[in-house]
């Protein structure tokens, strides 16, 4: 019986996710009636490989679990299953040992052993090994040799190794399913994102920015330590029902409109907004970014403005109402007349879906390897499963970020379907209780098999009240939390200037939102958060414990305003203890509790910790230690436990 094989998502319906260079540990419950010894192995296949490979799964008696590991050294879809069989020789040999030790007559046992080895010889395809096995079988069964001498042959460790290497595997049993693993590039699981509107980068509120202007921001963004620059849609913007500043319905003639109202006279999803420049300019932007070590992520929003070419060319790709008009987006009684949703179940759906696929491929051909997908939960799940699989078949390195601000089950389902990472509820989790409760749900080991949360601290849609009221310290706190709670995090341009004015009291929308107007910024404004951002991104790059999601533990803090948690490598080679004051307005102190037993530190021992933010060293003693965090100074400690270091 082979049960509870891991990794496995929904009984094998979906692949588990891993990244390049990881060891894939496969484990299983394996057992059989009776008392025979068993043996097991993983059978696995690397993408593009026709042959199966094998790796042994040794038994861990403490866990009553079998496990083996292999290196994931190629991006793409891996396949594996588990095989087990009765270790007939091992079972027999162990009984023989005990009988010999008890001084029993083992003449008949030797004949049984000879038969076992003969069966192994018959099954053996290696000529030389087969010869050795046949010889050993003959020796064990040779009635002319003394039992004692034959017993010595029988118990020879070399014979044991030989038969273990070439067993008969008469009852080889395979797990009922073959399972899949999607191996992504590392940036799918570890990256810092920066969102920027190219059109705001001219430096002049009157002049529409271009890709060339945006290019000039790239060195700054790279120096801040980001890995991905994400651009909202760069396509022509509709004029029909265009939104004015602050989402008003009566735009002025020079209002630029929302980039998500995709499509105009100049083209749709495969065109660039003429004010931004040309496709060549865009390709140069991507090239410059890549040269600086930055990925460019493009927005992928499957909707159109009423002026999109598809509306004229394929009106049947939209829902036609009984009065002949095209159905605009709505959330009754609200109307979004500047946006047409696509009708994915149109009779002409094959053409529509292919057109949507071609949008991806068009930008991939221009250097884009990462897509931020707008509202995927409002498009068919079947579409995502199909389109992501199609792309990954040829380009398994493509990364898809899902923007699904919806119920957890839908959010997680999109991750199962193939999205590499997902936006989260992080912006709305600001207290100890909220953060712990939410992170516990989304760092459940079963969930982490397929889900990776990208913790954006703000977005053009979400300026949380916490940031509105907490000012600069609040931005520093949220930056530290996002960057240390998760290997994936992001900020939206303006965060570094702690822009915090909402359009009105009680709203999470920005005043003068960049979604509807140009927002040039002076990023050199004194007091900006550049130093803090650079610092935490450096700490992330230097500390492997901050580069994975499966190693977060919340620890006890006696003051609820101070969140205390651990990020640790499995071998404890990099072991961080992070204390964050969640109150942006006041200094707080707390006794925080170190898990001494787990750390193997004696109850009264002194051990050094280094604050990676400030370089300060502390000598901590015992389980309870004192921290005081003043948000106007340093709102957090990121403490590295120094093992064998200076005390």
144 binding a second copy? (CB under 8 A): no
Instruction: Mention every residue, 6+ apart, whose C-beta is less than 8 A from residue 121.
Output: 130, 133, 134, 137
Q: Is residue 425 part of the contact set for a second copy (CB under 8 A)?
A: no
Only one of the segments 92-100, 241-249, 262-270, 435-443 lies at the binding site for a second copy (rule: CB under 8 A); that segment is 92-100
Alpha helices by DSSP H, 271-367: 279-291, 309-313, 349-364
**Separation between Cα atoms, residue 584 and residue 474, nearest integer Å:** 5
- The count of residues interacting with a second copy (CB under 8 A) is 44
Among 21, 54, 58, 94, binds a second copy (CB under 8 A): 94
Cβ distance to a second copy smaller for residue 97 or 530? 97
Whether residue 441 lies in the annotated active site:
no
Is residue 332 a contact residue for a second copy (CB under 8 A)? yes
* Stretch near a second copy under the rule CB under 8 A, chosen from 106-114, 365-373, 424-432, 561-569: 106-114
Pick the catalytic residue from 8, 403, 449, 634. 403
Q: Assess 331 for contact with a second copy (CB under 8 A).
A: yes
Sign, Cα dihedral of 540, 541, 545, 548:
positive
Minimum distance between the CB of residue 419 and a second copy, rounded to whole angstroms?
A: 13
Q: Quick one: 206 or 409, whose CB is closer to a second copy?
A: 409
Determine, following the binding rule CB under 8 A, whether residue 413 of this chain makes contact with a second copy. yes
Q: Is 315 in the site for a second copy (CB under 8 A)?
A: no
266 belongs to the catalytic site: no
**Nearest-angstrom CA–CA distance, 293 and 219:** 10
Q: Counting contacts by CB under 8 A, is residue 212 touching a second copy?
A: no
Which of 87, 109, 213, 374 does the annotation list as catalytic? 374
Nearer to a second copy, 103 or 646 (CB): 103
Q: CB-based burial of residue 4 (10 Å sphere; 0-12 exposed, 13-18 middle, 19+ buried)?
A: exposed
Give alpha helix (H) positions in 443-503. 445-448, 465-485
**Residue 106 or 480: which CB sits closer to a second copy?**
106
CB of 623 to a second copy, least distance (A): 22
Q: Considering the rule CB under 8 A, would residue 325 count as an interface residue with a second copy?
A: yes
The C-alpha angle 41, 47, 53, rounded to 5 degrees, equals 25
Give the chain's largest Cα–Cα span.
108
Indicate whether 378 belongs to the interface with a second copy (CB under 8 A). Answer: yes
CA 529, CA 496: separation in Å to the nearest integer?
5
Site string for a second copy, 8-37 (x = CB under 8 A): --xx-x---------------x-xxxxx--
DSSP, collapsed to helix, strand or coil, labels residue 610 as strand
CB atoms near residue 628 (< 10 Å) = 14
SS3 percent helix, strand, coil of the chain, rounded to 5, is 35, 25, 40
Nearest-angstrom CA–CA distance, 326 and 590: 60
CA 212 to chain centre: 32
Residues that bind a second copy (CB under 8 A): 1, 3, 10-11, 13, 29, 31-35, 64, 94-96, 98-99, 101-102, 104, 107-108, 111-112, 115, 176, 321-323, 325, 330-333, 377-381, 407-410, 413
Q: Which residues are catalytic?
A: 374, 403
């Amino acid at each position: 019986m082979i049960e509870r094989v891991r990794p496995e998502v929904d009984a094998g319906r979906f692949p588990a996710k891993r990244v390049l260079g990881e060891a894939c540990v496969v484990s299983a419950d394996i057992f059989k009636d009776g008392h025979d010894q068993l043996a097991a192995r993983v059978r696995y296949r690397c993408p593009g490989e026709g042959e199966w490979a094998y790796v042994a799964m040794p038994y861990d008696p403490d866990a009553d679990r079998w496990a083996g590991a292999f290196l994931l050294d190629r991006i793409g879809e891996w396949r594996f299953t588990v095989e087990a069989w009765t270790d007939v020789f091992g079972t027999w040999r162990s009984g023989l040992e005990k009988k010999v030790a008890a001084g029993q007559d083992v003449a008949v046992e030797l004949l049984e052993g000879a038969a076992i080895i003969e069966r192994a010889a018959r099954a053996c395809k290696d000529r030389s090994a087969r010869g050795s096995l046949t010889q050993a079988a003959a020796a064990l069964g040779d009635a002319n040799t003394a039992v004692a001498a034959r017993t010595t042959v029988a118990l020879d460790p070399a014979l044991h190794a030989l038969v273990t290497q070439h067993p008969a595997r008469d009852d080889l049993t395979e797990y009922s399913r073959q399972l899949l693993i999607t191996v992504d590039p590392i940036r799918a699981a570890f990256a810092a994102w920066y969102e920027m509107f190219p059109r705001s980068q001219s430096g002049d509120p009157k002049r529409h920015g271009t890709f060339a202007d945006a290019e000039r921001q790239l060195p700054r963004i790279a120096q801040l330590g980001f890995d991905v620059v994400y651009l909202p849609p760069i396509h022509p913007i509709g004029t029909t029902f265009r939104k004015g500043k602050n989402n008003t319905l009566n735009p002025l003639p020079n209002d630029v409109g929302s980039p998500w109202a995709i499509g105009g006279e100049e083209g749709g999803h495969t065109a660039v907004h003429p004010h931004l420049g040309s496709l060549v300019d865009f390709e140069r932007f991507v090239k410059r970014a890549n040269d600086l070590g930055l990925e460019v992520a493009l927005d992928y929003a499957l909707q159109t403005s009423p002026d999109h070419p598809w509306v004229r060319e394929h009106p049947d790709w939209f829902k036609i109402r009984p009065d002949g008009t095209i159905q605009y987006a709505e959330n009754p009684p609200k109307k979004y007349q500047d946006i047409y949703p696509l009708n994915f179940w149109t009779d002409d759906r094959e053409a529509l879906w292919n057109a949507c696929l071609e949008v991806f491929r068009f930008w991939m051909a221009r250097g884009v390897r990462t897509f931020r997908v707008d509202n995927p939960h409002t498009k068919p799940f079947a579409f995502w499963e199909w389109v992501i699989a199609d792309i990954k078949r040829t380009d398994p390195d493509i990364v898809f970020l899902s923007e699904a601000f919806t119920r957890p089950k839908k959010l997680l389902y999109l991750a199962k379907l193939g999205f590499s990472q997902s936006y989260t509820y992080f912006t709305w989790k600001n207290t100890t209780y909220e953060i712990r409760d939410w992170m516990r749900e989304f760092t459940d080991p079963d969930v982490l098999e397929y889900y990776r949360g990208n913790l954006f601290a703000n977005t053009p849609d979400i300026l949380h009240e916490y940031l509105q009221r907490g000012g600069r310290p609040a931005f520093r706190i949220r930056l530290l939390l996002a960057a240390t709670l998760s290997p994936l995090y992001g900020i939206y341009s303006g965060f570094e200037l702690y822009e915090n004015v909402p359009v009105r009291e009680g709203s999470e929308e920005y005043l003068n939102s960049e979604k509807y107007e140009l927002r040039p910024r002076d990023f050199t404004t004194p007091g900006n958060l550049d130093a803090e951002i650079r610092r935490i991104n450096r700490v992330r790059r230097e500390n492997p414990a901050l580069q994975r999601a499966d190693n977060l533990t919340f620890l006890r803090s006696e003051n609820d305003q101070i969140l205390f948690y651990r990020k640790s490598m499995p071998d404890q080679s990099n072991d961080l203890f992070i204390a964050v004051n969640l109150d942006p307005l006041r200094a707080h102190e707390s006794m925080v509790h170190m898990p001494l037993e787990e750390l193997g530190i004696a109850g009264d021992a002194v051990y050094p910790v280094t604050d990676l933010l400030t370089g300060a060293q502390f000598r901590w003693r015992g389980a309870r230690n004192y921290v005081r965090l003043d948000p106007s100074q340093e709102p957090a400690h990121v403490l590295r436990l120094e093992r064998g270091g200076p005390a």
